[in-house]
Amino acid sequence: MNRLKKIKDDGWPAGVKKTKQRESVLAVLKNSDKPLSAMDIYSKIEKNGSSAWLSTVYRILELMVKKGVVIKTNIMNSEMAVYEFNRFKHKHYAVCMRCNKIIIMDNCPMDKFIPQFKDEEFSVIGHNIEIFGFCKDCK
Amino acid sequence: MNRLKKIKDDGWPAGVKKTKQRESVLAVLKNSDKPLSAMDIYSKIEKNGSSAWLSTVYRILELMVKKGVVIKTNIMNSEMAVYEFNRFKHKHYAVCMRCNKIIIMDNCPMDKFIPQFKDEEFSVIGHNIEIFGFCKDCK
DNA sequence: ATTACTGCAAAGCATTTGCAGACTG
DNA sequence: CAGTCTGCAAATGCTTTGCAGTAAT
């Protein structure tokens, strides 16, 4: 894995110029254990004393997703995408229907599951799973 | 189930006025075996010789979702929501990563699965599952 | 020096909202 | 006839794009 050094040992994607803004975005994502929206990332960068225009944040995120360093998701059909640092760990989230808290699920229902399709052949590459309900504070 | 007659025998939600536009929207959804976007629905209504302004379609969909007659989903993190008539059948979709074809999956990985959470209690209400890969025409 | 990246402004797209007139029960 | 729903227009919120100046290798 990682034989071609697509991602360098320090976690920086190969062939990508280092700039203050890019380092800020990646640092914010590395320091978070929850997925963040572009706006969240923008705010945290400002709070850290740095700066990066919102459109720049979007461009950086798009690049990092393409490089495989960052994962983009839409949680609970929200209109806002969230991004997280790719730690190459397989995981899923449970989302509280009242407070939107995100809880990491430790096991995966797809582990021993063979999907069955109606008529069609289909080669499975991956899956998204999202559980919803109420967290202990909300119910 | 349906003891309180929240949904009438003809499939119309109780206490909801019948209008030309609402009947058109629901008819389009009933006649489709795939989830449709608001725009799809709008186009199909026009094609049928009726009409309903796009914002009206959105308002009707929102109402029908609230009444439990329609299900809203965001497939493959697309920015566009899709809607389907609620046939009260539990199912999941597989989506082709190239042509976006939607294929219905016949079994559900959550059937015999007990989720485990890190630290937190969580009462599960439901789940979304989405499989992605390539359909037989695309690979 | 050359090429790529960012600030900034403005556009884009799906969806929502406000209002006055039209329609349903 | 009272109250709700719709057409229409305009606003919204997230995200993308174009361009000219700035910075990285």
DSSP assignment of A26-87: HHHHHT-SS-EEHHHHHHHHHHTT----HHHHHHHHHHHHHHTSEEEE-GGG-SS-EEEE--
Q: Please name the residue of chain B whose CA is at the shortest distance from the CA of residue A81.
A: B77
Radius of gyration of chain B from its Cα atoms, rounded to whole angstroms = 17
pLDDT digits (tens, 9 = 90+) for B12-23: 999 999 999 999
Q: Does strand D come within 7 Å of the CB of A15?
A: no
pLDDT at B10: 81
Domain that holds residue B106: 3-133
Is there a contact between A134 and B116 if contact means CB atoms under 8 Å apart? Answer: no
pLDDT digits (tens, 9 = 90+) for B51-91: 999 999 999 999 999 999 999 999 887 889 999 999 999 98
pLDDT at A36: 96
In a domain, A29, yes or no: yes
- Residues of chain B in Cβ contact (below 8 Å) with chain A: 72-74, 77, 79, 81, 94, 96-97, 103-107, 109-110, 113, 115-118, 120-136, 139
CATH number at A55 reads 1.10.10.10
In a domain, A125, yes or no: yes
When divided into structural domains, chain B yields a total of 1
In a domain, A139, yes or no: no
* Residue pair A51/A42 in contact by the 8 Å Cβ criterion: no
Q: pLDDT confidence of B4, banded at 50, 70, 90?
A: low
In a domain, A50, yes or no: yes
In a domain, B38, yes or no: yes
In a domain, A138, yes or no: no
Is there a contact between B115 and A127 if contact means CB atoms under 8 Å apart? Answer: no
Residues of chain A with pLDDT under 70: 1-4
Q: pLDDT confidence of B30, banded at 50, 70, 90?
A: very high
Collect all residues with Cβ–Cβ distance below 8 Å to B57 and sequence separation of at least 6: B21, B25, B38, B41, B42, B45
